[in-house]
Amino acid sequence: MRPVVIASANGHQFRNGGDETCVERAFRLITSGADVLDALVAGVTIVELDPDDSSVGFGGLPNADGVVQLDASCMHGPRRRAAAVAALEGVATAAAVAQRLLETTTHHLLVGAGAREFARAQGFAIADDLTSPRSAALWREWRRRTDARAASDPARRFEIGYRVGDELSREGLIDPNHLWGTINCNAVNAHGDLAGVTTTSGLAWKRPGRVGDSPVLGAGLYVRQGAGAAGSTGRGESNLYGLSSFLIVDRLRRGAHPIDAGMEALKEIKEATVDPQLLNDRGQPNFNVKFYIVAADGRFASAALYGGDHVQFAVCTENGAELRRCEGLLEEREII
């Protein structure tokens, strides 16, 4: 069996001052004999703790109230176990909290204050504030622009706030890929053991308490031993509607190639997107969704609604780590 680690692009862009990226660390640990889920959590922790990544953990872009709320999930193929946390405050390493929940309880999901108190009881340090100076400054700028435009129409505040977020990404103040946050990382080891992790600070400037697809089994992450693993980044509500990661892994179980399974899920999302608020002037989705897929036999792929040379994913094999181009279902658009 050929070991493979696949992740969103930030899995090979951030090192938090160290020598390894997420996929490099996870691959090294997997090929050294570590449990596949332990290796993935160790990898994504690098990104969660790096303040330069504004999509997860410490320095993640906060909600509309300026508070960082984190979601994360993990699945262990051989053990047929999964666990997740949502709206977690004060603990940057949300993936590790989800893994601890998997290991010490029979629960799948803890949210809000319950998730925080579980983390505290398990020995995780609770921080008062997970914003970095950069993410706090970006929130203040978002709040300033949103307040000015919503003053005459408070009922449309969150709609206006989303447009301001898109505006900030167009101006290059935030990475367009991070408007929706998230790192997903999946792997198969030399024995065919599969696992996956997804962790996120969610949609930038979201409504407090909003939870996307990342901690929902079958939506932002799904793993089935003997079949494969899939996870996503991008607009989580689209994956929630169709349980896209489950769909992909089910297609892998039936023998589909990872890229074909990913494209089928994207076609389902495109067909289900009928709300005018979610369509561009060509009648196509005005958001992006990307999938990161590994089959039990080591084949892998990444598929996106909108691909292109600037839409990438990370992978690490025996040949080392690299960023590759995501295959797109639709034509490229200016902002992803």
Q: What are phi and psi of 58, to 5 degrees?
A: -65, 130
Which residues lie across from 294 on neighbouring strands?
229, 300
Please answer whether residues 110 and 101 qualify as being in contact, where contact means their C-beta atoms are separated by less than 8 angstroms: yes
Q: How many residues does the chain have?
A: 336
Cα–Cα distance measured from residue 42 to residue 39, given in angstroms and rounded to the nearest whole number: 5
- Parallel/antiparallel/unpaired status of strands 81-88 and 109-111: parallel
117: number of Cβ within 10 Å = 12
Burial state string for 75-106 with b = 16 or more CB within 10 A and e = fewer than 16: bbbbeebbbbbbbbbbbbbbbbbbbbbbeeee
Backbone angles phi, psi at 174, to 5 degrees: -130, 150
Pick the catalytic residue: 21, 93, 131, 182? 182
Q: Which one-letter amino acid corresponds to residue 187?
A: A
Residue with tokens 């979610």: 278
Catalytic site includes residue 182:
yes
Among the listed residues 196, 212, 180, the one whose alpha carbon sits nearest the alpha carbon of residue 306: 180
What separation in angstroms does the CA of 197 have from each of 40, 95, 169?
Answer: 7, 7, 26
Residue pair 317/30 in contact by the 8 Å Cβ criterion: no
What is the set of active-site residues?
182
